Structure 1
Amino acid sequence: MLTLVQRYIGFVDALNYRIGRIVMYGIFVMMGILLWSSISKTFFLPSLWTLEVAQFAMVAYYMLGGPYSIQMGSNVRMDLLYGECSDHRKAQIDAITILFLIVYLIFLLWGGWESFQYSISYGGERSSSVWRPYLWPIKAIMLVGIFLMLLQAISEFFKDILRIQGHDMGAKV
Structure 2
Amino acid sequence: MQGVMRGFIHGVDAVNYRLGRIVMYGIFVLMGVLLWSSISKTFFLPTLWTLEMAQFIMVGYYVLGGPYSMQMGDHVRMDLLYGGWSDRKKARVDLFTVLLLIFYLSVLIYGAISSTAYSLGYWKTEPISYLFGVVTGTEEIGRLEQSSSAWRPYMWPVKLVMLVGFFLMLLQCLSEFCKDVLRLKGQTI
- TM over 0.5, yes or no? yes
Q: Which runs of 5+ in 2 are unaligned?
A: 122-141
1:65-76 equivalence runs, <5 A: 65-76=65-76
Aligned alpha-carbon RMSD (Å): 0.8
Partner of 1:162: 182
Partner of 2:82: 82
Give the Cα separation in 2 of the matches to 1:66 and 1:81: 24
Partner of 2:165: 145
Partner of 2:39: 39
1:123 Cα offset (Å) = 0.8
Residue 119 of structure 1 aligns to which amino acid in structure 2? S
- Give the 4+ runs in structure 1 shifted more than 3 A: none
Give the Cα separation in 2 of the matches to 1:35 and 1:79: 37
Q: Which runs of 5+ in 1 are unaligned?
A: none
Partner of 2:129: none
1:80 Cα offset (Å) = 2.2
Percent identical = 63
Partner of 1:91: 91
| 1:24 corresponds to 2:24 | yes
Give the Cα separation in 2 of the matches to 1:100 and 1:129: 36
Residue 171 of structure 2 aligns to which amino acid in structure 1? L
Partner of 2:143: 123
How does the TM-score come out when normalised to structure 2? 0.88
Residue 66 of structure 1 aligns to which amino acid in structure 2? G
How does the TM-score come out when normalised to structure 1? 0.96
